[in-house]
Amino acid sequence: MVISETLVGGLIGRCGSNISRIRNESGATIKVYGGKGEQNQRQIQFGGSTQQVALAKQRVDEYIYSQLIQPAGAQQASRATILRQ
């Protein structure tokens, strides 16, 4: 899986907390390749059984979706506040 460099920090979390949680929940191994700032995209490799990998990928997809939808929701809330004033 390849994701944007801008999403990797949040996916990993402070001291690796988010990615550790995904590893523990899924049982999959997860490796992130490429150093910070080296490239625009980072590669994520999953290992484990089919079920473990599927669950880990699902959790990563959920995180990415939450980050993509969040700015749109914040914009709508901001617009609603402006319209009320």
Block mean pLDDT (10 aa), the chain, length 85: 90 94 97 79 95 97 88 48 38
pLDDT at 72: 56
What local confidence, expressed as pLDDT, does residue 74 receive?
Answer: 52
pLDDT at 84: 39
Identify the pLDDT of residue 73: 52
pLDDT of the residue at 58: 96
Of the options 2.130.10.30, 3.30.1370.10, 3.30.70.370, 3.40.1790.10, the CATH number for the domain spanning 2-69: 3.30.1370.10
The runs of H, that is alpha helices, within 1-85 are 5-12, 17-26, 50-84
Q: Is 32 in contact with 41 (CB distance < 8 Å)?
A: no
